[in-house]
Structure 1
Amino acid sequence: MHNNLQYQVFTEQYGTDPHQTGDLYIPTQKSKGTVCLFHGGFWKMPYDKSQLDAVAVKLVENNFSVWNIEYRRVGYLQQGYPETFIDAIEAINVLAPLSEKYPQIDLSPVYIAGHSAGGHLSLWLGNHKARLSEHALNIIPDAFIGLAPVVDLVASYGDMQRREFITAFLGCTPDENRDIYQHTSPIALLPAQGKQVIFHGEHDEVLPIGEIDDYARHAQQKGTHVECITIAQGTHMDFCDPDSQSISRFIDWLNAQSESR
């Protein structure tokens, strides 16, 4: 446990594996709701939840409870599928028992947000087919938020700079097992079951903003509205910087939701 005048931090498990863990940030003042964070880093080691520690602090200073999630990744696992996806589901499902243990956190509203590869997990969760065998969300969040998210795994495979990360994550190429790509790529799973919001920097050098435009257009054709917020001059890693314009826009959006409730 870590204590601060403005908040407390508790580390909790959502499974038996040492990587099935997260840090729960609870504000001293009344919580405006809970923001779940999935970090990026190509779904692989050594990238971990510490990438979003400073963002979690910024959120809790704005009186949001924050659940900064770790999950099993490539490097610890031979491949990410299906364990990483199972972890994404179970990390959200543990919010109900956590809210009993820590009644000061507020599960109304709940937002799931992820950066880059973590944004992929967030948007994947926002689909009615986002289940693996007996694993399925038992909490319906108010919004699924992508912060410079991976939205199309086939398009990412087609990019030579990203190809090796995609095949390592899913354990196959699209030609070897198209079904796995269809069950894990957000664009293939549209329409979505919940509100989707994407924040993306216009100068993102890792994930071109054109892929977000394609996703939003495809979603619209399927009857799903995706709220897209473009960050002028924004880059990919801005979402790990609590003082960036990108994170300010994200927090402004969250605050606007709480004010309209």
Structure 2
Amino acid sequence: MQLPTPAKGEKIAYGADSLQFGELRVPAGKGPFPVVVVIHGGCWLAQYNYQYMNHLSEALANAGYATWNIEFRRVGNPGGGWPGTFQDVAQGVDYVRELAKKYPVSAKEVVVMGHSAGGHLALWVAGRKDLPRSSEVYTRSPLKVRGVVSLAGIPDLATYSAAKGSCNSAVEKLMGGLPTTVPQRYQQGSPSPKLARKATVRMVQGALDPIVPVSQANNFTEKSSARGHGIKTVLLPQSGHFDLVSPASPVWPTVAQAVKEALGKK
């Protein structure tokens, strides 16, 4: 099914660089509305941008959520990779506080949603409070989020980088080396194992995904859920990689339900 071109959101800069911006979509009505921060994938590479997440962003806005679809510097952009990509995503998420001053959106009801490489960044940004102050990607007083929806996310960069594939090989470019050469970066750039103690996490994963294996979601969930926290893998048996971001897909209601759960709603 071909979806119509989504209406443009309001383009707003969160930083000085030309790639530090997001598109804000706010539902009709009084608000304040809960916010879904949308982080696109594309193997962390410059040739892929935020626009393929516009249909998803519009669908969520039509369902009553404000959406903040952010762009950021990526591998191939000046300043992209480590640490710029991480710094941009952190800055973009924290900017929800500024949006709440001007628009009917709530900085206290925030879910971060990411797809593929963006799923890695969504999981990372939600748990960065645990970073040491000495880290290049440390942020003072990061925005607290209610939950995370990882759509075919990649929480284990080290394992993913060891497998064959064009997206797998992009990890080394992102981090500026392999785990054996820059282990501290992998430690600081991977999602916190304590994340599920503080936020509700839904690892939505297609069983037929040829790009991100199911083990990425399952292993992260198992390590966290062993402690009895609010994380689970939502496995979609007939879905591939991009079904998860299409509102025309049969699995879209499951994705929408994951957003509700991440906000603490049934």
Compute the TM-score of the two structures, normalised by the length of structure 2. Answer: 0.87
Q: Quick check: 2:119–2:154 contact (8 Å CA) kept in 1?
A: yes
The answer to whether structure 1 residue 111 and structure 2 residue 114 are counterparts is: no
Q: Supply the distance in 2 between the matched residues of 1:202 and 1:194 (Cα, whole angstroms).
A: 25
Q: Is the Cα contact below 8 Å between 2:108 and 2:144 reproduced in 1?
A: no
Within-5 A mapping of 1:55-94: 55-77=56-78, 79-94=80-95
Counterpart of 2:172, as a letter, is: T
Q: How does 1:53-202 map to 2 (within 5 A)?
A: 53-77=54-78, 79-102=80-103, 104-127=104-127, 128-130=129-131, 132-133=135-136, 135-161=139-165, 162-186=167-191, 189-192=192-195, 193-202=198-207
Distance in 1 (CA, whole Å) between partners of 2:228 and 2:126 is: 14
In structure 2, how many angstroms separate the alpha carbons of the residues matched to 1:82 and 1:126?
A: 17
The percent of aligned pairs where both chains have the same amino acid is 24
- Amino acid in the other structure paired with 1:227: K
SS at match of 2:202: strand
Q: Tell me if the contact between 1:36 and 1:112 (Cα under 8 Å) persists in the aligned partners.
A: yes
CA contact (8 A) 1:8 1:26 kept: no
Matches within 5 A, 1:211-250: 211-221=216-226, 224-250=229-255
Q: Which residue of 1 aligns with 2:12?
A: 12
Distance of 1:250 and 1:8 partners within structure 2: 22
Q: What amino acid maps onto 1:183 in structure 2?
A: Q
Instruction: In structure 2, give the amino acid aligned to 1:57.
Output: E
Offset at 1:55? 0.6
> Residues of 2 paired with 1:216 and 1:259: CA distance?
18
CA 1:46 to 1:137, structure 2 compared with 1: closer, same or farther past 3 Å? farther
Q: Counterpart of 1:179 in 2: which secondary structure?
A: helix
- The letter for the 2-side match of 1:12 is I
Q: Which moved more, 1:205-214 or 1:26-35?
A: 26-35
Distance 1:100 1:84, change over 3 A: same
Tell me, in whole angstroms, the C-alpha distance in 1 between the residues paired with 2:230 and 2:256.
21
Where 1:135 maps in the other structure, the secondary structure is: coil
Range moving further from structure 2, 12-21 or 122-131: 122-131
Does the Cα contact within 8 Å between 1:111 and 1:144 map onto a contact in 2?
yes
1:25-44 equivalence runs, <5 A: 25-31=25-31, 32-44=33-45
Equivalent-residue separation in structure 2 for 1:258 and 1:155 (angstroms)? 30
Q: Given the two structures, how large is their TM-score scaled by the length of structure 1? A: 0.88
Cα 1:135–1:164 shift into 2, 3 Å: same
Quote the Cα distance in structure 2 between the aligned partners of 1:240 and 1:73.
Answer: 20
Gaps of 5+ in 2: 1-6
The secondary structure found in structure 2 opposite 1:139 is coil
User: Partner letter of residue 160 of structure 1?
Assistant: K
Amino acid in the other structure paired with 1:105: V
When the two chains are superposed, the root-mean-square deviation of aligned CA atoms in Å is 2.3
Bigger shift: 247-256 or 109-118?
247-256
| Shift, 1:222, TM fit | 5.4
Report the 3-state secondary structure (helix = DSSP H, G, I; strand = E; otherwise coil) of the residue aligned with 2:9.
strand
Distance 1:78 1:69 in 2: 16
| Cα drift, residue 255 of structure 1 | 4.2
Query: Paired residues, what number?
Result: 253
